A = this chain, B = another copy of it.
Amino acid sequence: MIEKIFAPQLLGLTALERESVHERLDRTVGNPAAKAAIDMALWDILGRAAGMPVSGLLGGYSDRMRVSHMVGFAPAAEMVAEAERIRDTYGITTFKVKVGRQPYTEDVTACRALREALGPDVDLYIDGNRGWTASDAVRALREMADLGLTFAEELCPADDVLGRRWLVAQSPVLFIADESATRAAEVTRELLGGSATAISIKTARTGFIASQRVLHECEGLGVEVVMGNQIDGGIGTLCSVAFGAAHGGAGAVPDPDGRLVRQADRGRGLARLAPGSPAPQVLGARPPTDHHPAVLQGRQPCRRRHRLRREARADPRPGSGCGRQRPRGHVRLRPRQGVIDRALRRTHGRRHSARPRPGGPRGPGGP
């Protein structure tokens, strides 16, 4: 797609003519992953030419963001074991739990088992990948009302328009649109139509500049966003962190004045942009390893709320330690200039495969 269709249209433009590049790309409908790869490669070129990190050019809010691990379909006991292993190995304490099975009670059972095993200090964020009906979803949310869920994502199809609106209106947690809102216009339709109350942004499909457009629209509308990851490889994950860390509001981002470093020190799962470290590598893991979580999820609430939330979180919880341990659960990513454009095509090609990465999470086959 890039070689045959897009590249010939872009010859002669420079990385400083990004908007013209996109105008030409947009003559062809669809192909968001190829367009995203080109956009991020342009930013990589800019960063290399300027000798500056792309995350700084994008906004430079922080060098780290909180991550989650995706727990795919399995018997409840296996899901619990996986989550415990990830928590103990990487310090990650946010879990995106795949739901949407039939009967829905199987997922309710799994979520309850996770909460009981992991305790109150982890975030459980359910993602249905459109697997339930609206009716199933409403019943499931009611039965999980005591589990303290963080978010719910795409529990039923967005094309079940009125059912989805009915579900969203009574959801006790923010309802995230992901695959139903991949462009700014879709974001507008889903939000104004009552089909979502939060948005998932994935750089693999909107690159940096269209992701920024969606983020800015959501900020203006007062809508929270999360950064998603659709089984990207290492470079794709790096792009997600570069974007998320640039823009503020990622769940556990330290303020430059250090207020939140304590949270990192408490071992919450964070992805870190750290020039010079191998990309990507988990630091603080036992044993040291170059495995990285394939699902990376940082909250990006709107700024006002975020500030309040961060301040609340900065208070050390009783029993959570003195905040002096060695940081654990950080993913340090080396934003090595020049690697992105060489690797993007491979990464994004891989994205289309529903086959999970070896050693990666077991999802229900969707992003």
- Residues of A at the B interface (CB closer than 8 Å) are 12-14, 16-20, 23, 26, 46, 49-53, 56-57, 59-62, 184-185, 187-188, 209, 212-217, 219-222, 246-248, 255-256, 303, 307
In Å, the complex CA distance between A188 and B214 comes to: 14
Q: Write the nearest CB–CB distance from A146 to chain B, whole angstroms.
A: 35
Q: Are B16 and A184 in contact (CB under 8 A)?
A: no
Q: Which of B51, B215, B256 contacts A17 (CB 8 A)?
A: B256
Assuming the A-B contacts A23-B248, A248-B23, A303-B26, are A53 and B16 also in contact, with contact meaning beta carbons closer than 8 angstroms in the complex? Answer: yes
Q: Write the nearest CB–CB distance from A350 to chain B, whole angstroms.
A: 29
Q: Are B247 and A59 in contact (CB under 8 A)?
A: no
Q: Write the nearest CB–CB distance from A208 to chain B, whole angstroms.
A: 12
Name the CB-closest residue of B to A17: B60
Q: Are A220 and B184 in contact (CB under 8 A)?
A: yes
Q: Write the nearest CB–CB distance from A63 to chain B, whole angstroms.
A: 10
Q: Write the nearest CB–CB distance from A4 to chain B, whole angstroms.
A: 20
Q: Are B18 and A60 in contact (CB under 8 A)?
A: yes
A307 proximity list for chain B (CB < 8 A): 23
Q: Write the nearest CB–CB distance from A280 to chain B, whole angstroms.
A: 21
A52 proximity list for chain B (CB < 8 A): 16, 46, 49-50
A62 proximity list for chain B (CB < 8 A): 20
A17 proximity list for chain B (CB < 8 A): 56, 60-61, 256
Name the CB-closest residue of B to A16: B56
Q: Are A222 and B188 in contact (CB under 8 A)?
A: yes
A256 proximity list for chain B (CB < 8 A): 12-13, 17, 20
Q: Is the interface of A mostly helix, strand, loop or mixed?
A: helix
A51 proximity list for chain B (CB < 8 A): 50
A59 proximity list for chain B (CB < 8 A): 18-19, 209
Name the CB-closest residue of B to A184: B220
In Å, the complex CA distance between A214 and B61 comes to: 19
Q: Are A219 and B60 in contact (CB under 8 A)?
A: no
Most buried by B among A49, A184, A187: A184
In Å, the complex CA distance between A18 and B16 comes to: 19
In Å, the complex CA distance between A18 and B246 comes to: 9
Q: Which of B19, B216, B248 contacts A247 (CB 8 A)?
A: B19
Q: Which of B212, B214, B217, B303 contacts A23 (CB 8 A)?
A: B303
List 22 A–B pairs whose Cβ atoms lie within 8 Å, in order of A's numbering: A14-B56, A16-B52, A16-B57, A18-B59, A19-B59, A19-B246, A19-B248, A20-B61, A20-B256, A23-B61, A23-B255, A57-B57, A59-B209, A184-B216, A187-B220, A188-B220, A188-B221, A212-B216, A213-B219, A214-B216, A217-B217, A217-B220
Q: Are B221 and A16 in contact (CB under 8 A)?
A: no
Name the CB-closest residue of B to A304: B26
Q: Are B216 and A221 in contact (CB under 8 A)?
A: no
In Å, the complex CA distance between A71 and B256 comes to: 48
In Å, the complex CA distance between A72 and B50 comes to: 44
A184 proximity list for chain B (CB < 8 A): 216, 219-220
